[in-house]
Amino acid sequence: MVTGGAGFLGSHLCDALLAEGWSVVVVDNLLTGRRANLVHLNNEPRFEFVEQDICKSFEVGKVDYVFHFASPASPEDYHAHGIETLQVGSLGTFHALDIARKYAAKFLVSSTSECYGDPLEHPQKETYWGHVNPIGPRSVYDEAKRFTEAVTMAYRRYHKVDTRIVRIFNTYGPRMQLNDGRVVPNFMKQALRGEDLTVYGDGRQTRSFCYVSDEIDGFMRLAKADEHLPVNIGNPNEFTILDCARMVLNVTGSKSRICYKELPKDDPKQRRPDITKARQLLGWQPKIDLESGLRLSLDYFKKAVAEETAVR
Ligand SMILES: NC(=O)c1ccc[n+]([C@@H]2O[C@H](COP(=O)([O-])OP(=O)(O)OC[C@H]3O[C@@H](n4cnc5c(N)ncnc54)[C@H](O)[C@@H]3O)[C@@H](O)[C@H]2O)c1
């Protein structure tokens, strides 16, 4: 079972699970996901889609593995759906864990680098407890995810559920929403439309971007490993936002210019995973560099921009 399987990461995870021979049931209420992300599986007999809000208790029959990916993830989405984000991180996580407990299924939950907040330790190791503002505008997401981790650990301690926690760092690639406010789709969209690329602050804040196929490979390895403490999966190559903007201009061949806007509140200044644990434990490290990943994503973004323009 994949909760949130109609979303960006969940849909790629479904593809990976099906490719390994599993049957997959997706449970998703389409709050931020799209049936279009799964349309290629319409005739797949080992695939089933259930439209359901996981904040309400639900049943899909016996499953062997629960992958809990349901949650708004982009800043646009969790700001628009703050309460729903807190609910799915709390109530939704209880329900997903209840299913794993009921069927003695394994459980893997998608957590986030946002658990580290605006970090005082750099790069971030899994042992770092984070620096999060519990009452700021981003707290609906950050604290929901920290709570998700706490419930997951509690079900392991109290109910012996076989759990895993992946802390995902910025991931990009095909099937991202064009308007989700994240750096790569924002820049791609603006570059392909010939609009100015918006950089917040002076653009010297850094991010690390992981291409989706690398990220999914990390999830699949962790799913088979015997590690219940959090594992960072992300690309440790750090770029400034300005570097990224220039790379997008290069890959798209766009003549757009870069413009600057005020930095939003609580925007982390730097973020980079320490992936020593994933390397040692899972033999995992990303293979695709940012420029190659942007090239691999280009056709998708071109199509998405063209479709949006057609609708307008
Ligand atoms: N994409 C990233 O870079 C990134 C980084 C860190 C963590 N994550 C985590 O990975 C997971 C997936 O992220 P994504 O980028 O694919 O986001 P997404 O918004 O594309 O997908 C999330 C999915 O969850 C579904 N959903 C939300 N609330 C639900 C509910 N109450 N019941 C059922 N379904 C619900 C949405 O409809 C959507 O299909 C999230 O848990 C997110 O926190 C993603």
Give me ligand 1 centre to Cα 69, in Å: 5
Percent of the chain with pLDDT over 70: 98
Q: Is the CB of 174 under 6 A from ligand 1?
A: no
User: Is 141 annotated in the active site?
Assistant: yes
* Joined tokens for residue 159: 């109910």
What does the alpha-carbon distance between residue 20 and residue 220 come to, in Å, rounded to a whole number?
A: 10
What does the alpha-carbon distance between residue 130 and residue 271 come to, in Å, rounded to a whole number?
A: 12
What does the alpha-carbon distance between residue 60 and residue 44 come to, in Å, rounded to a whole number?
A: 18
Question: pLDDT per residue over 52-111, tens digit each?
Answer: 999 999 999 999 999 999 999 998 999 999 999 999 999 999 999 999 999 999 999 999
The per-residue pLDDT for 207 is: 86
Model pTM score? 0.96
Give me ligand 1 centre to Cα 70, in Å: 5
Phi, psi of 177 (to 5 degrees): -75, 140
Check 141, 155, 172, 211 and give the catalytic one.
141
pLDDT band of 263, cuts 50, 70, 90: confident
For the chain, what is the mean pLDDT?
A: 95
Strands 47-51 and 24-28: parallel
- Lowest mean pLDDT: which of 146-155, 156-165, 221-230, 236-245? 236-245
Helix axes 241-252, 290-311, angle to 10 degrees: 70
Percent of the chain with pLDDT over 90: 90
pLDDT band of 268, cuts 50, 70, 90: low
Q: Is the CB of 273 under 6 A from ligand 1?
A: no
Phi, psi of 226 (to 5 degrees): -110, 70
pLDDT band of 166, cuts 50, 70, 90: very high
The per-residue pLDDT for 180 is: 83
Q: Is the CB of 6 under 6 A from ligand 1?
A: yes
Cβ within 8 Å of residue 271, ≥6 positions away: 113, 116, 119, 124, 169, 170, 206, 207, 208
